Every structure is written in structure tokens, then in C-alpha cells.
Amino acid sequence: MNTLPNNEPSISDVATELRRYDAACAELLSLLRRQQRTRQDDHLCVNGYAELKKQLKRDSAHGTIGGVKRSMSDAERFFFEYAVRHAAQALKPAINYSRVVATWASAVSNAQSELQYKLHDLEKRYPGN
């Protein structure tokens, strides 16, 4: 049972956002690991990596969904903040807007693992979310 006030992000909201990040990582990894990428694929990789890094950094700044400056809900404090902070830290390789960097795939994979770790913990504690 969710005991959070109605105006705060719920367990379900956090699960949805962690799943969104997980899907974004999976999609980017699929592109990054493609053997023969086109120039358009490389452009998508660069933009995808930059956007993922920007969003994770924004959300980890306050530990809140959307990076909103406010107190964290319990759901954000227990699951979201840890996941986005560690995922953002995993994306250490710099953004190079002129080319795809070889270490991005490993960094995105590590970020995805951090997100999945807390998502799995959330789903185990709150089945059905």
C-alpha cells in the first residue's frame, strides 16, 4: 500500500520513470552495439547519449523526477535518487558531438545496471508496480 501524500510522486510514478530510463538505455545500447552504423545512426547515438546524460544529471541534482527543486517523496528517496545518481556517475565519458566514443556502450550498460538494480528492488518490495 502506498502511504505517500497525493501530491508527491508515488511508487508507481518512480517505477514508471525508472522503466523509461531503462528503455532509453536499451534503445541507445542497441544503436551503439550495431556493427555497421550509418552516419544517421551515429547522429542518433550522439544525441541519445547527450540527452540521457543531461536528463540523469538533472534528475540526480535534486533526486526528484524531472529534477524539480523540492523535497523528495519517500519513493524518490528510497529508489529513484540512488538509481539516477549512480546511473549519472556511470556516464563519465564526455560528450563528443563529432563522433561516437568507444566507451559509451560500456558506460550506458553500467548506467542501465544501476537503474535496473533499484527497479528490481522496488518491484520486489511493491509487486504490481
Helix (H) or strand (E) holding 116: helix 104-125
C-alpha cell at 100: 561516437
Cα distances from 31 to residues 47, 62, 81, 96, in angstroms, run 12, 30, 27, 16
pLDDT of residue 4: 43
User: pLDDT digit string (tens) for 2-12?
Assistant: 444 457 899 99
**pLDDT (tens digit per residue) in 3-60:** 444 578 999 999 999 999 999 999 999 999 999 999 999 999 999 999 999 999 999 9
Confidence of residue 81 (pLDDT cuts 50, 70, 90): very high
Instruction: Give percent of the chain with pLDDT exceeding 90.
Output: 89
Distances 11 to 1, 48, 80 between C-alpha atoms, Å: 9, 27, 9
pLDDT digits (tens, 9 = 90+) for 82-96: 999 999 999 999 998
pTM above 0.85, yes or no: yes
pLDDT bin (cut points 50, 70, 90) of residue 129 is confident
